[in-house]
Amino acid sequence: MQQLEFTLTGEFVELNQLLKLAGLCDSGGAGKMIVAGGGVRVDGKVELRKTCKIRAGQVVSLGDARIRVNGPAEASPK
């Protein structure tokens, strides 16, 4: 199984965009088609909402790829 890590730059990322940013599809539109086809799992459950908000701590699976979503890095103290 391919293990990927994705670090958020904000509070969340939309599911179809995460698939694109992780390199699992070529575009957000392709990501929407994959999600609509029932091939994506979020935390072990099939997710059909194309723009579902994925937050830190969640795990997204597509085929043999697994993406662990991490929160944004803590700002360094001043």
User: Residue 78 above 60 pLDDT?
Assistant: no
pLDDT grade for 1, boundaries at 50, 70 and 90:
confident
Beta strands in the chain (DSSP E): 2-7, 13-14, 40-42, 45-46, 53-54, 59-62, 65-70
Q: What is the pLDDT of residues 22-73, one digit of tens each?
A: 999 999 899 999 999 999 999 999 999 999 999 999 999 999 999 999 998 7
At which residue do the structure tokens 């999600």 appear? Answer: 35
The domains found in the chain, sorted by start residue, are: 2-70 (3.10.290.10)
